[in-house]
């Protein structure tokens, strides 16, 4: 009972609830929040925080790089300050670093854009399709449920010199050699595997949109496109943005696909993660940690920019309060000519709250 | 200037190379860390040991299939000073790194009386700065697989030099059966196999990558001749374009499909190409010869595996006995009968029944005996990467062979002097 | 509002009937395209696994003859693949449960409680999922060696939380925030405590989101390779992924592509079926709960 009523009322948010909410939800919330968040924070500090600190420390040392007269490695590690970092930017290593930096960025932009477009399309189709829904759901999980190790092998197989890709295209492209073709093969394989991730998340977002919102829009005569841009997108935006954010974080660290599909030491697809791996593989843990740290900083900067530019509602509440007064203009009245306001209103925290 | 490692200890234990010889003490159960037992025969070998040594049982730790990951696991085991692995099954190129880091125990040759019966070139792979760190158990050498049926038809003998190989191919291509066949391929993808093939080209032309004095000397006319043979091969189509993506398996497939006249590969290909189940189109139509060189016999690059004792292992006496057992004539014979892995026990190559079963043994022995080791350097990983970088650049035409070699010389000089 | 709700179905029906053919067929075509897109490479995987090892390199669309040799290879004794599947299930399942339990509390807190430093907490959580995995594993392994955790399930489970937990917390936070606050308020007016309101009202409503998060977490944990490879070297504890990586052919150089693909199929299909069964149940539960 109590669950359905507010859902039905959602399209007509009330603007007067804010003070009430703050009294009812704010009593002693600081301590309560700390208590409730502590398990998460403890786990993360243990499994991520401490290792990061260890890696940061490691990046300031070198070890095992000197050989004594009888041919043995000199034991112990030496503090070298920021030498591992400066070495990365100098000379040949520097060229290699910037190349990897460019590749990483390119992969991220290309893959994430493709995956987002495909993912959203998939979600819409799945949401609309009444026939064949089960099949789509099943098939969409497939690429993603295949272990990365196996899917990399599969694509490698497909892109062999005498593999099925060449046979179907009627070409003799050597996919694993340097050049655009190796880049393309990585993008194809990555998109195939992870677009469903976005699709699934957007679908979950779509499913939480009550149907009456759409019905209202229909009654108001909103076009399909208007419904999509003014209702669907704003409502799934929080889930979508989080999905995209995590895809960005993941793709910036892309490793397996270029490594298995194309191979190490290939300029066209060498990424920052591969550089870090190769250094660690040569037991140069200091430089490896330095690469990892630089990548970490890069990822953090990108995430920050992403959240600042697009993701006001990734963090949600701050903007929600600011724009809430526009909420009333929102859903279902797509034709209304108040530019920006409807979208902003809908954007706020999923727009459903209307506190 | 150097801070002692916080974990300490390591230095004291292993200081003084003299103590290691006497340090093979302790008996009891041990662990054998090896790459995946591909043949399934390792189980039998270990079972044979275990039935004779109930109190010193060997358990096997199978590491991942990729050599990189095997090495990584062994290194991390050593860096943790763990006694989990007792005997390590190491690729020959890891010897220097493991020895220099004191991850494996030095062995006294006097304790292994049968060493003299193993092929000397294989024993050499287990040495670092003239000290012994392992016992070779399997070896590997490159072979030239060729289409006997087509050469016979053209009235040709297997080629002894690169030049002969090129002319032979022209002649075979003139035959109706040989019209569309590719001439030659080795392994040219950018990975360890490229280092092997590049070294063979250079050594086969009388050059060296790293000289006997341990100094790189690759910017020479001989080395250039060797590398140019390969780059010209790609340019003229003597080597098919797709070969730049070939590792062992891709090359084997091309050969088995009947798309190659000559193919450089390891002994394992023999059984596969001879398979009568339809997977090979050339079963019964090919034979094996030693690798051709530029002007005379070619020089193979030495592969194979050595067993070594982890520095941090318990029961090292048992470990040493196990290594003797596994490298013994009896065990090696049992192994080749089941697996076609190249043995290190010299006299096995002359065994008539084995020769009947494995007709490639004679050329293989020649190949291994004259084979060259890859550079024995602590930072082998960097060296092989540098070699691949240069060779791949030359083969794909992004740099001239001359520049590639000059660059490689500079790179190797900086890597090897450290 | 109620009027709209009653009218709506009729409106849709009318529209559907009047819609030009492409309107009706477009979703179906879309479905077909998606299914093809997702399944064609997988189909190739299945086909490759059904070839005889001898025909492995064939490019024919249907293997002939069809052979189960690769599957037999996967399950023959000594590969440890069954055990690997079980281990994967244990690890991924535990990771999912732990993540959801810990993560839901945190996510609900972040979505609903007003407190200072909230964005900071969210930022910290996301920052933790930015460090390259390879660099986390090395220090963790050192730690686990010291506390004797190598070759245990927890050595795989606990580090897996490092990527599962941030993802789950963020997703759940987003989903919870989509829930209207009136729900709890109404529930609390009805006399529920906040905890009850969460359990009885929010949780059922957020089920699609929670379930999606569970799938995502489970699959991420199921696909995990690096940690499982590094923390365990005893066969009894290896996960299916690690076992697959150790498949080899008869010589060590040849890659047993067929059996790797067969193993991939075996790993994938049960997962998909399980998810479907679960999903149906959850969706059913939802409709019963009165959310349309």
ipTM of the complex: 0.85
Residues C131 and C254 both lie in one domain: yes
Query: Which H helix or E strand runs over A319?
Result: helix A317-323
**Which residues partner with C278 through β-bridges?**
none
Q: Please provide residue B146's backbone torsions phi and psi, each rounded to the nearest 5 degrees.
A: -140, 160
Residues C78 and C59 both lie in one domain: no
Residue A281 with chain B: CB contacts under 8 Å: 68, 72, 381
Does residue B105 belong to any structural domain of this protein?
A: yes
| pLDDT tens string B25-80 | 899 999 999 887 767 788 899 999 999 999 999 998 888 777 888 898 899 888 88
Work out whether the CA dihedral A328, A333, A334, A339 comes out positive or negative: negative
Q: Which two tokens stand for residue B340?
A: 């076609």
Does residue C115 belong to any structural domain of this protein?
A: yes
Does residue B11 belong to any structural domain of this protein?
A: no
Q: Which two tokens stand for residue A59?
A: 């990046």
| pLDDT tens string A246-300 | 899 889 989 888 988 898 899 999 999 999 989 988 888 899 999 999 999 999 8
Does residue C8 belong to any structural domain of this protein?
A: no
Give the end of a domain, one of B331, B351, B369.
B369
Residue C54 with chain B: CB contacts under 8 Å: 275, 277-279
In the predicted model, what is the mean pLDDT of residues A158-167?
A: 88
Q: Which two tokens stand for residue C123?
A: 């930022």
Contact check, Cβ <8 Å, C28/A132: yes
Among C223, C253, C133, CA closest to A149? C223
Q: Are B78 and B312 in contact (CB under 8 A)?
A: yes
Does residue B14 belong to any structural domain of this protein?
A: no
Relative orientation angle of helices A133-145 and C21-50, to the nearest 10 degrees? 40
C255 touching chain B per CB within 8 A: yes
Q: How far is CA A214 from the centre of its chain?
A: 29
Work out whether the CA dihedral C38, C41, C45, C50 comes out positive or negative: positive
Q: What is the DSSP string of C173-239?
A: HHHHHHS-THHHHHHHHTT--HHHIIIIIIHHHTHHHHHHHHHHHHHHHHH--HHHHHH--SGGG--
Give me the residue label for tokens 């020649």: B366
Closest approach of chain C CAs to the CA of A291, in angstroms? 10
Which is it for strands B303-309 and B131-132: parallel, antiparallel or unpaired? Answer: unpaired
Q: In the complex, which subunits touch C with 3 or more CB pairs below 8 angstroms? A: A, B
Report the distance separating Cα A249 and Cα A298, nearest Å. 10
Share of chain A above pLDDT 90, in %: 28
Residues B251 and B164 both lie in one domain: yes
**Per-residue pLDDT band at C251 (split at 50, 70, 90):** low
Most confident of A10-19, A46-55, A66-75, C9-18: A46-55
Residues C49 and C149 both lie in one domain: no
| pLDDT tens string B282-309 | 999 999 999 999 988 899 999 999 999 9
Nearest CB among C52, C53, C246 relative to B62 is that of C246
Does residue B7 belong to any structural domain of this protein?
A: no
Residues B284 and B294 both lie in one domain: yes
In 3-state terms, what secondary structure has residue A60?
coil
> In this complex, how many residue pairs, one in chain A and one in chain C, have their CB atoms less than 8 Å apart?
369
E-assigned strand segments in B16-134: 30-35, 58-63, 87-91, 127-128, 131-132
Residues B269 and B405 both lie in one domain: yes
Residue C242 with chain B: CB contacts under 8 Å: 64
Angle at B84 between CA B83 and CA B85, to 5 degrees: 95
Q: Which two tokens stand for residue A178?
A: 């340097």
Residues C39 and C76 both lie in one domain: no
Report the distance separating Cα B107 and Cα B19, nearest Å. 11
| pLDDT tens string C4-19 | 344 444 444 444 455 6
**Which residues partner with B32 through β-bridges?**
B60, B87
Closest chain C CA to residue A160: C57
Residue A61 with chain C: CB contacts under 8 Å: none
Among B351, B141, B159, CA closest to B267? B141
Residues C49 and C116 both lie in one domain: no
Residues B50 and B199 both lie in one domain: no
**H helices present in B64-161, as ranges:** 67-79, 95-100, 120-125, 148-153
Residues B181 and B214 both lie in one domain: yes
Contact check, Cβ <8 Å, A178/B99: no
Residue B150 is predicted with a pLDDT of 95
Residues 180-209 of C with CB under 8 A from B: none
Nearest CB among C54, C242, C245 relative to B279 is that of C54
Q: How far is CA B188 from CA A153, B196, B231, in A?
A: 20, 9, 11
Residue C252 is predicted with a pLDDT of 61
Query: Which H helix or E strand runs over A314?
Result: helix A312-315
Residues B152 and B134 both lie in one domain: no
A161 touching chain B per CB within 8 A: yes
Residues B104 and B31 both lie in one domain: yes
Best residue in C252, C255, C259, C260 for a mutation probing chain B (most B CBs within 10 Å): C252
Q: Which two tokens stand for residue C260?
A: 């790797």
Closest chain B CA to residue C257: B249
- Integer Rg of chain B from CA: 22
Among A269, A267, A289, CA closest to A277? A289
Does residue C1 belong to any structural domain of this protein?
A: no
Does residue B96 belong to any structural domain of this protein?
A: yes
Among A55, B198, B258, CA closest to C162? A55
Q: Are C272 and C110 in contact (CB under 8 A)?
A: no
Residues 235-274 of B with CB under 8 A from C: 248-249, 252-253, 257, 266, 268, 271-272
Most confident of A7-16, B6-15, C79-88: C79-88
Residues 78-97 of A with CB under 8 A from C: none
* Segments of chain B with pLDDT less than 70: 1-23, 38, 418
Closest approach of chain C CAs to the CA of A68, in angstroms? 27
Residues C235 and C271 both lie in one domain: yes
Closest approach of chain B CAs to the CA of C198, in angstroms? 46
Residues B154 and B243 both lie in one domain: yes
- Region of A266 (left: φ > 0; alpha: ψ -120 to 50; beta: rest) is beta
Of the listed ranges A8-22, B133-147, C246-260, the least confidently predicted one is A8-22
Decide: residue B25, CB within 10 A, 0-12 exposed, 13-18 middle, 19+ buried. Answer: exposed
Q: Please provide residue B106's backbone torsions phi and psi, each rounded to the nearest 5 degrees.
A: -70, 140
The more confidently predicted of residues B259 and A351 is: B259
Does residue C81 belong to any structural domain of this protein?
A: yes
Work out whether the CA dihedral B58, B60, B61, B64 comes out positive or negative: positive
| pLDDT tens string A195-241 | 988 888 888 778 777 777 888 888 888 888 888 888 888 878 877 88
Residues B26 and B116 both lie in one domain: yes
Q: How far is CA C128 from CA A315, B42, B393, in A?
A: 17, 44, 40
Residues B324 and B411 both lie in one domain: no
Contact check, Cβ <8 Å, B418/A281: no
Looking at the predicted structure, is the pLDDT value of residue A351 above 80?
no
Half-sphere exposure of B187 (CA within 13 A, CB side): 22
User: b or e along B92-106 (b: 16 or more beta carbons within 10 Å of the residue's beta carbon)?
Assistant: bbbbbbbbbbbbbbb
Contact check, Cβ <8 Å, C145/B64: no
In 3-state terms, what secondary structure has residue B306?
strand
Q: Are A213 and A12 in contact (CB under 8 A)?
A: no
- Region of A91 (left: φ > 0; alpha: ψ -120 to 50; beta: rest) is left
Looking at the predicted structure, is the pLDDT value of residue A21 above 60?
no
Residues B206 and B147 both lie in one domain: yes
Question: What 8-state DSSP symbol labels residue B5?
Answer: P
Residues C118 and C63 both lie in one domain: no
Report the distance separating Cα B302 and Cα B339, nearest Å. 19
Does residue B13 belong to any structural domain of this protein?
A: no
Q: Which two tokens stand for residue A257?
A: 């696909």
Among B313, B327, B326, B322, CA closest to B23? B313
**Which residues partner with A73 through β-bridges?**
A67
Q: Are B139 and B122 in contact (CB under 8 A)?
A: yes
Structural domain span for residue C236: 71-288
Among B66, C132, B67, B70, CA closest to A275? C132
Q: Tell me the pLDDT of chain C averaged across its residues.
A: 80
In 3-state terms, what secondary structure has residue A74?
coil
Give the end of a domain, one of C40, C67, C94.
C67
CATH homologous superfamily of A103-287 equals MetI-like (1.10.3720.10)
Residues C50 and C161 both lie in one domain: no
Q: What is the CATH number of the domain that holds C206?
A: 1.10.3720.10
In 3-state terms, what secondary structure has residue B353?
helix
Looking at the predicted structure, is the pLDDT value of residue A319 above 60?
no
Q: Which two tokens stand for residue C3?
A: 């009027």
Long-range contacts of A332-336 (CB under 8 A, 24+ apart): A332/A11, A332/A213, A332/A216, A332/A217, A332/A219, A332/A220, A332/A222, A332/A231, A333/A220, A334/A217, A334/A220, A334/A222, A334/A223, A334/A226, A334/A227, A334/A230, A334/A231, A335/A220, A335/A221, A335/A222, A335/A226
Does residue B5 belong to any structural domain of this protein?
A: no
**Per-residue pLDDT band at A109 (split at 50, 70, 90):** very high
Residues C102 and C242 both lie in one domain: yes
Among C247, C41, C229, CA closest to A142? C41
- Furthest CA-CA distance within chain A: 87
Residue A287 with chain B: CB contacts under 8 Å: none
Q: Are B187 and B194 in contact (CB under 8 A)?
A: yes
Residues 81-110 of B with CB under 8 A from C: 82, 84
Q: How many other C-beta atoms lie within 10 A of the C-beta of residue B316?
A: 22
In the predicted model, what is the mean pLDDT of residues A11-24?
A: 41
Domain count, chain C: 2
State the pTM of this model.
0.84
Report the distance separating Cα C201 and Cα C206, nearest Å. 9
Report the distance separating Cα C200 and Cα B114, nearest Å. 77
The domain locations on chain A are: 103-287, 311-355
Give the end of a domain, one of C67, C84, C103.
C67
Angle at A50 between CA A46 and CA A51, to 5 degrees: 110
Q: Are C26 and C33 in contact (CB under 8 A)?
A: no
Residues C53 and C79 both lie in one domain: no
Residues B334 and B351 both lie in one domain: yes
Of the listed ranges A202-206, A317-321, C285-289, the least confidently predicted one is A317-321
A56 touching chain C per CB within 8 A: no
Domain count, chain B: 2
Best residue in B33, B34, B36, B250 for a mutation probing chain C (most C CBs within 10 Å): B36
Length of chain B: 418
Does residue B4 belong to any structural domain of this protein?
A: no
Residues C45 and C75 both lie in one domain: no
Q: What is the DSSP string of B190-238?
A: SSHHHHHHHHHHHHHTT--SB-TTS-B---SHHHHHHHHHHHHHHHHTS
Half-sphere exposure of B385 (CA within 13 A, CB side): 16
**Per-residue pLDDT band at A149 (split at 50, 70, 90):** confident
Contact check, Cβ <8 Å, A78/B191: no
Q: What is the CATH number of the domain that holds B36?
A: 3.40.190.10
Looking at the predicted structure, is the pLDDT value of residue A26 above 60?
no
Residues C221 and C240 both lie in one domain: yes
Of the listed ranges A104-118, A150-164, B186-200, the least confidently predicted one is A150-164
Closest chain B CA to residue C255: B249
Give the end of a domain, one of C50, C67, C84.
C67
Structural domain span for residue B107: 19-140+303-369
Contact check, Cβ <8 Å, B257/C56: no
Q: Which two tokens stand for residue A136?
A: 């789509």
C235 touching chain B per CB within 8 A: yes
Nearest CB among C30, C41, C190 relative to A158 is that of C41
């Amino acid at each position: 009972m109590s669950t359905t009523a507010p859902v039905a009322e959602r399209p007509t948010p009330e603007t007067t609830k804010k003070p009430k909410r703050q009294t009812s939800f704010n009593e002693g919330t600081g301590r309560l929040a700390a208590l409730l968040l502590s398990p998460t924070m403890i786990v993360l500090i243990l499994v991520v925080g401490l290792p990061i600190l260890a890696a940061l420390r490691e990046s300031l040392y070198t070890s095992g790089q000197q050989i004594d007269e009888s041919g043995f490695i000199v034991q112990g590690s030496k503090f070298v300050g920021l030498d591992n970092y400066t070495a990365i930017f100098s000379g040949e290593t520097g060229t290699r670093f910037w190349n990897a930096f460019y590749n990483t960025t390119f992969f991220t932009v290309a893959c994430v854009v493709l995956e987002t477009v495909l993912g959203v399309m998939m979600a819409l189709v799945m949401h609309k399709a009444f026939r064949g829904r089960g099949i789509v759901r099943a098939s969409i999980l497939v690429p993603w449920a295949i272990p990365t190790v196996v899917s990399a092998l599969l694509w490698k197989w497909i892109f062999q010199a005498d593999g099925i890709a060449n046979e179907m295209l009627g070409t003799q492209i050597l996919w694993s050699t340097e050049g655009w073709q190796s880049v393309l093969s990585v993008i194809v394989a990555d998109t195939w595997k992870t677009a469903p991730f976005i699709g699934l998340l957007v679908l979950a977002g779509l499913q939480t949109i009550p149907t009456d919102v759409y019905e209202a829009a229909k009654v108001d005569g909103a076009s399909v496109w208007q419904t999509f841009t003014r209702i669907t997108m704003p409502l799934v935006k929080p889930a979508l943005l989080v999905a995209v954010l995590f895809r960005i974080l993941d793709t910036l660290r892309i490793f397996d696909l270029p490594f298995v599909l194309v191979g190490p030491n290939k300029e066209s697809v060498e990424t920052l993660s591969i550089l870090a791996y190769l250094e660690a593989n040569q037991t140069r843990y200091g430089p490896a940690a330095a690469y990892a740290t630089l990548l970490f900083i890069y990822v953090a900067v990108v995430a920050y920019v992403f959240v600042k530019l697009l993701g006001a509602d990734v963090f949600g509440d701050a903007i929600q309060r600011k724009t809430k007064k526009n909420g009333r203009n929102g859903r279902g009245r797509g034709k209304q000519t108040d530019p920006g306001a409807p979208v902003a209103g809908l954007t706020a925290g999923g727009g459903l709250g209307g506190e | 200037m150097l801070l002692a490692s916080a974990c300490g200890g390591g230095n004291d234990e292993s200081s003084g190379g003299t103590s290691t010889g006497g340090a093979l003490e302790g008996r009891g159960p041990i662990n054998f860390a090896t790459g995946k037992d591909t043949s399934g025969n390792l189980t039998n070998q270990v079972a044979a040991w275990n039935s004779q040594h109930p109190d010193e049982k060997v358990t096997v730790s199978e590491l991942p299939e990729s050599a990189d990951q095997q090495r990584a696991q062994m290194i991390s085991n050593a860096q943790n000073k763990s006694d989990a692995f007792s005997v390590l099954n190491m690729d020959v190129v890891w010897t220097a790194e493991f020895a220099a880091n004191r991850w494996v125990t030095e062995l006294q040759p006097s304790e292994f009386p049968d060493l003299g019966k193993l092929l000397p070139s294989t024993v050499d792979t287990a040495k670092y700065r003239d000290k012994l760190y392992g016992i070779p158990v399997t070896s590997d050498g490159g072979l030239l697989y060729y289409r006997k049926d087509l050469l016979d038809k053209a009235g040709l003998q297997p080629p002894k030099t690169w030049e002969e190989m090129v002319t032979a191919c022209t002649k075979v291509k003139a035959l109706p059966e040989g019209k569309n066949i590719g001439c030659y391929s080795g392994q040219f993808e950018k990975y360890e196999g490229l280092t092997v093939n590049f070294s063979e080209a250079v050594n086969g032309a009388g050059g060296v990558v790293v000289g006997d004095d341990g100094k790189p000397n690759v910017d020479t006319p001989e080395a250039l001749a060797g590398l140019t043979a390969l780059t010209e091969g790609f340019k003229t189509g003597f080597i098919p374009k797709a070969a730049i993506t070939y590792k062992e398996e891709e090359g084997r497939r091309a050969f088995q499909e009947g798309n190659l006249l000559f193919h450089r590969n390891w002994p394992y290909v023999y059984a596969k190409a001879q398979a009568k189940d339809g997977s090979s189109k050339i079963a019964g139509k090919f034979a094996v010869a030693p690798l051709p060189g530029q002007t005379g016999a070619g020089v193979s690059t030495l592969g194979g595996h050595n067993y070594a004792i982890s520095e941090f292992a318990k029961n090292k006496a048992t470990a040493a006995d196990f290594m003797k057992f596994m490298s013994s004539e009896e065990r090696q014979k049992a192994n080749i009968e089941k697996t076609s892995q190249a043995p290190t026990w010299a006299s096995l190559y002359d065994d008539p029944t084995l020769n009947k079963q494995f007709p490639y043994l004679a050329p293989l022995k020649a190949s291994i005996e004259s084979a060259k080791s890859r550079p024995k350097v602590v930072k082998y990983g960097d060296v092989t990467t540098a070699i691949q970088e240069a060779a791949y650049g030359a083969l794909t035409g992004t740099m001239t062979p001359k520049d590639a070699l000059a660059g490689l010389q500079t790179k190797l000089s900086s890597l090897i002097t450290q | 509002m109620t009027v709209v709700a009653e009218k709506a179905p009729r409106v849709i029906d009318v529209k559907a009937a009047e819609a030009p053919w492409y309107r009706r067929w477009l979703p179906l075509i879309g479905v077909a395209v998606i299914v093809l897109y997702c399944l064609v490479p997988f189909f190739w995987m299945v086909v490759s696994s059904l070839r005889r090892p001898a025909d492995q390199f064939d490019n024919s669309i249907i293997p002939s003859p069809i052979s189960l040799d690769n599957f037999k290879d996967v399950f023959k004794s000594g590969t440890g693949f069954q055990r690997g599947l079980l281990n994967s299930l244990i690890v991924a399942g535990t990771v999912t449960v732990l993540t959801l339990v810990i993560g839901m509390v945190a996510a609900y807190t972040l979505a609903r409680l007003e407190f200072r430093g909230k964005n900071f907490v969210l930022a910290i959580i996301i920052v933790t999922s930015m460090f390259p995995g390879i660099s986390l594993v090395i220090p963790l392994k050192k730690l686990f060696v010291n506390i004797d955790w190598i070759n245990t399930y927890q050595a795989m489970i606990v580090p897996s939380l490092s990527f599962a937990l941030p993802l789950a917390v963020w997703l759940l936070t987003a989903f919870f925030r989509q829930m209207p606050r009136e729900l709890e308020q109404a529930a609390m007016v009805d006399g529920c405590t906040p905890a009850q309101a969460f359990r009885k009202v929010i949780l059922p409503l957020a089920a699609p989101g929670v379930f999606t998060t569970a799938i995502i977490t489970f699959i991420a944990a199921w696909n995990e390779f690096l940690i499982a490879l590094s923390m365990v070297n005893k066969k009894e504890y290896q996960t299916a992924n690690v076992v697959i990586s150790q498949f080899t052919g008869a010589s060590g150089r040849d890659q047993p592509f067929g059996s790797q693909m067969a193993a991939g199929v075996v790993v994938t299909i049960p997962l998909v079926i399980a998810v479907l069964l679960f999903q149906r149940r959850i969706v059913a539960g939802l409709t019963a709960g009165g959310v349309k």
